[in-house]
Structure 1
């Protein structure tokens, strides 16, 4: 053996336990994983921009969503600045429609519909309605689903059997059928749509929460709390519920695009908010009839709806991977 390859270490030995490591909280780790997902970060900016436009654009617009100006009907999009580049200049088939209708002092970013209403204003007012309906329905669904799942999973036995049979009966019928029948009976309206959407929307949330409760209720920290005399209410809301918040948040976020799509579908088939109030679905319903002649009428609400749903889906997917990275591998 060549002893020249070995030499005596004269440095002081440092125990591994003495090394200091960065102490990152769970929130910081989740934020780091979320920011690493570029698609999720971009989706956040898209959602924020759409929400800001839905709030600000109708306020700043000189037109109202319900003002009918039949003399200015079917005007193509015209945007200041871009018209100098030959894009969105108010021309159709090489003819300046604004000049024909003596409307050179007007600018309609998305054009006007068959009644002369400004599509730009109506799109963002419709986005408000769609977000309001989806948000209200999802919040109510989360409240019902979480409470229902906690009670069913924790108490078990006959309580769980009865509650699960109720959910099976409700889930056996397609949601669209139930909502459509309810709206036919109740007549279309903003409040009635929210009530109809929350009839069955909570079932998926209750099942996920129930599964989490069954997972945690027999673990050591719950048994210890029960041994110390903690009430059932305290165990449910102070011990089990905090451990299920990750799944609740993920399910909540995925429910938003589903609610937006369902509202848009109901509006598309004529069961949405009554005129002159607009939603994205009702605007698509109004615009698709003239899509071949005036494609911009349906293009604007379709693009906004697609961006909104895609943004929420990407955001929910990134949030799921950040909160529970193991779910990405399953």
Structure 2
């Protein structure tokens, strides 16, 4: 019996697959596009930003303009009213006819002072987005630099800096803001200072962990051997290799900052009246939620969509930048 036999069948070699090389940026973009949830959330965030910037500017009503004769009107939207929804009917009665204002349209209705909730909601969204932008700037300017210095120099410098962060993180943000109200008025200033005191701590810890992982690797040791200064090593060698974690961290800090502003406004520590924020609108609306649910429904939905959009976008960005983090 022969152990070797000729293969008489047709033998076709597999076609060689051509692997297209991609840069790191293109690879991140490719993985992000495959995440439909993150891609949709990105467009939702852009849409909310555009509406928040444009709606108050083109509205015929101001966020602080009072019309007592139009108080407590339910939502009414042209076109949709013919379908029996958003037609201004509340408790079986057309409130627009009852108040002789059938020529008026309030997309989100009005509050108890007759102010247009549509304009106030998007004005409040502006403030929430401003808080989010400030959170990112504070995280980058304070948290990144603090974490770089603490992790790179180590020793006594690291020990002192970490004890400072532990003391600050042990103070509840609500207590800090409440104490600040003793010397400051409620408003954006108090919220900004609260973020400056505690908002950067998580970022500094993330950056410090990255520095501790990178500072003993070969490319950093080679830079030291060549006489590169500590500043250039930090900002030209270590920082670029930590950008992935930094971007992910401050993207997750955006919804946290938005929720902080809404929570502080809900408990009465937010922006003062007549300024509007999503938290203050929820605070004003929940008192009449059983009678006039439209007052609280609109700001709650916008706040929920905004936070969900940023969270999904941050999740997708994290998976695109470092897919291995998804397994952790």
TM over 0.5: yes
TM-score (structure 1 length as normaliser): 0.95
**Alignment of structure 1 residues 127-138 onto 2, 5 Å:** 127-138=125-136
What's the CA shift string for 1:8-48, capped at 9, x where partnerless?
9899xx9x8xx853111111111111111111111111111
1:250 is matched with 248
The runs of 5 or more residues in structure 1 that have no matched partner are none
The runs of 5 or more residues in structure 2 that have no matched partner are none
Would the alpha carbon gap of residues 325 and 83 (structure 1) be closer, same or farther in structure 2, given more than 3 Å must change? Answer: same
What's the CA shift string for 1:115-171, capped at 9, x where partnerless?
000000000001001111221133113210000000000000110000000001111
**Alignment of structure 1 residues 195-274 onto 2, 5 Å:** 195-274=193-272
- Tell me, in whole angstroms, the C-alpha distance in 2 between the residues paired with 1:28 and 1:170: 39
2:137 is matched with 139
- 2:173/2:194 contact within 8 Å kept: no
CA drift at 1:281 = 0.2
TM-score (structure 2 length as normaliser): 0.95
Would the alpha carbon gap of residues 100 and 22 (structure 1) be closer, same or farther in structure 2, given more than 3 Å must change? Answer: same
- 1:180/1:266 contact within 8 Å kept: no
More divergent stretch after superposition (32-41 vs 169-178): 169-178
2:121 is matched with 123
- 2:138/2:199 contact within 8 Å kept: no
- 1:179/1:197 contact within 8 Å kept: no
- 1:183/1:196 contact within 8 Å kept: no
CA drift at 1:196 = 1.9
- 2:255/2:307 contact within 8 Å kept: yes
Would the alpha carbon gap of residues 159 and 73 (structure 1) be closer, same or farther in structure 2, given more than 3 Å must change? Answer: same
Moved over 6 A (4+): 7-11
CA drift at 1:218 = 0.5
Q: Give the aligned CA root-mean-square deviation in angstroms.
A: 1.9
- 2:52/2:122 contact within 8 Å kept: yes
Would the alpha carbon gap of residues 117 and 8 (structure 1) be closer, same or farther in structure 2, given more than 3 Å must change? Answer: closer
What's the CA shift string for 1:238-275, capped at 9, x where partnerless?
00000000000000100000000000000001111111
Secondary structure in structure 2 of the residue aligned to 1:148: helix
What's the CA shift string for 1:46-88, capped at 9, x where partnerless?
1111111101111111111011011110000000000011111
1:76 is matched with 74
Residue from 295, 299, 304 that aligns with 2:297: 299
Aligned: 1:5 with 2:28: no
Secondary structure in structure 1 of the residue aligned to 2:122: helix
